[in-house]
Chain A
């Protein structure tokens, strides 16, 4: 029977205490969880019942909710939705073959939680900045674009957009380097996601010690006081999805 894998954690300290949490989760979710252990690792699994033909959002959220509940108590490697093995034997083989990698990453995420920090341009600021920059560009145009032909007007418009975009990239890089520097006191694990909409200045994930949550909150409040014109959001704690990437053997 196919086996769903939820999370992987160190074997030794958990097996007795985690069973109680899994019982509570079983009552809530109706899923019968099991622990499958090797000498060093434990996988939290359940048997896959029924045939799932399409990804259902409700199922994905339920899966994530289970992982979240476990991650609040234990340092885990969270699995992605759809992590299914053909049998318990296959799960055991997976744990044994990748033991070294799993342990290495577990050490990295031990007693840590993931947070998401987002800093965005507000709409009002975006408009104001674009106007200001447009005026500034007009005042310092390359001589070659002076003139009033259709071709030059076209290039002028493109050039304005280019300069505005360049300035925006410089500004984003400046804030990101400042963040990396200031966050060093809290964590060395910071990853920036690529800008996905023009409003984003920073879309970062941080791996922070459980005990440093207060420091992180204070830092974000300070960040907002430096940049009151931006929209800021901190979410978490999450299971360390972005810091538990392993190439399986």
Chain B
């Protein structure tokens, strides 16, 4: 960005620059499916959607905990289920060599999916 466009800044210039760098469009968030890597591209799309659903389930579970209406047994079951789900996702990410950052989609003006 041209310096004459910066009209005002306060705080840490380094931190501001670092955050703005993260906004630059990159390859993250793209489903890069080509004939050579179609399997990986599809896996990325499918795992991203599964991760979205997993996070929604997790969010819903937190709301139920907030309501304080779960029994001790239900809490134990919930913890075990969510933990197993997360572990399974970690396994799948390792198999396809994805990081957490890979499992996202940029929805343009709507922001990132996850």
Contacts and interface: CB of A to CB of B under 8 A. Distances in A.
A233 B6 CA distance: 7
Interface string B49-70: 0000000001101100110101
Contact of B70 (A144, A154, A224): A144
A152 interface: yes
Contacts of B70: 144
Contact of B65 (A115, A159, A232): A159
Given A144-B65, A196-B112, A122 B11 contact: yes
A37 B92 CA distance: 58
A39 interface: no
B36 interface: no
Nearest to A191: B109
Contact of A158 (B6, B7, B8, B82): B82
B68 A142 contact: yes
A86 to B, nearest CB: 26
A81 interface: no
A162 B66 CA distance: 10
B29 to A, nearest CB: 11
Nearest to B22: A197
B75 A155 contact: yes
Majority-rule SS of A interface residues: mixed
Interface in A97-148: 115, 118, 120, 122-123, 142-145, 147
B68 A158 contact: no
Interface residues of A, number: 39
B95 interface: no
Contact of B11 (A115, A194, A230, A238): A230
Nearest to A152: B79
Contacts of A217: 7-8
Interface in B31-87: 58-59, 61-62, 65-66, 68, 70-72, 75-80, 82-83
A151 B65 CA distance: 14
B109 to A, nearest CB: 7
B62 A158 contact: yes
B65 A194 contact: no
Nearest to A155: B79
B20 to A, nearest CB: 8
Given A123-B12, A224-B10, A144 B1 contact: no
B110 A194 contact: yes
A78 to B, nearest CB: 15
Closest 8 A/B residue pairs (Cβ): A151-B79, A194-B111, A231-B11, A162-B62, A234-B8, A155-B79, A233-B9, A224-B10
Interface of A: 115, 118, 120, 122-123, 142-145, 147, 149-152, 154-155, 158-159, 162, 193-197, 199-200, 217, 220-221, 224, 228, 230-236, 238
